[in-house]
Amino acid sequence: MSDLPRSDLDDLRRARLLLENPSLAVRIADYVGMPIEALVKRLPDRAQRVIGDGTRKALEAALDVALHTLDVRRGGGAASDWLHRGVVMATGAAGGAVGLAGLAVELPISTTVMLRSIADHARAQGEDLSAVAARLECLAVFALGSRAASDDAADSAYFAVRAGLARAVSKAAEYAARRGAAQAVADRSAPAIAQLIARIAQRFGIAVADKAAAQLLPIIGAAGGAAVNALFVNHYQGVAWAHFSVRRLERAHGPEAVRRAYSALAPGPPRAPAG
């Protein structure tokens, strides 16, 4: 039996559902009316290269924001989801109207806006964003929001991915603290920085490919692009709320107690986070 209070168990249950059942591909498939896997397989090689390059550039832009301009005010208030969602929808509308050529421009903008929304959730859950490691933890949320084929369904995908990222986040934070934010951003080829970006891109690229495949449908257009981006940002806002809720509970009750309670929870109906 868990020692966590009932309200904390309710938050943990909602977090578990969001983290163990990434639903972006399912929601996009429902919107466009066909399996997303089929759309991704139809992408030409050129599109795959654009998606790969765009993912890397978007994460590099987000890294710059995380280390340089992310608001480091301490906690307070609920996250402002709708403000960020509106901006990302607008960029999606522009990208949907232009097609593949617009992805390279739209994706870095969308990703940096989503990072600020993720940071909003981190702050609301009591994270100290004056710490470099906490700001890089916001960037790492992009790796928590999609499943890879190699994920082991027998164990918690969330804790497995999080454990794999922890060392990369720690090394990148140490490098940034030692060399300074400007040097860390300028020298993206430094092993500590390159490894973090590569680890996140490996998983974030899956979600980007799903999004791009839907937006490249001939019928999607500007309105469809805005709708796909609304699904995109809403998905990562939910993942951010869940991840930083788990971290808040770990600070309150200890990591082991939260991990045991998380593993013991039976799935239940999800409830969307406030925002």
**Domain ranges within the chain, ordered by starting residue:** 6-264
Per-residue pLDDT of the chain (275 residues; tens, 9 = 90+): 468 999 999 999 999 999 988 678 888 888 878 888 888 888 888 888 888 999 999 999 999 888 887 766 655 556 665 555 555 555 655 555 456 666 777 888 888 888 988 998 999 999 999 899 999 999 999 999 876 655 554 345 899 999 999 999 999 999 988 888 777 777 788 999 999 999 999 999 999 888 888 877 765 665 577 788 888 888 999 999 999 999 999 999 999 999 999 999 865 454 444 44
- Residue 76 to residue 84: CA distance in whole angstroms: 17
The pLDDT of residue 212 is: 83
Nearest to 234 by CA among 21, 20, 89: 89
The pLDDT of residue 155 is: 45
Distance of CA 236 to the CA centre of its chain: 5
Tokens of 89: 């929808």
The pLDDT of residue 150 is: 56
The answer to whether 147 and 157 have CB atoms below 8 angstroms apart is yes
The pLDDT of residue 274 is: 45
Q: Count H helices, E strands: the chain?
A: 12, 0
The pLDDT of residue 125 is: 94
H helices of 254-270, in order, are 255-264
Between the two ends of the chain, the Cα-to-Cα distance in Å is 31
The answer to whether 89 and 225 have CB atoms below 8 angstroms apart is no
- Residue 95 to residue 49: CA distance in whole angstroms: 17
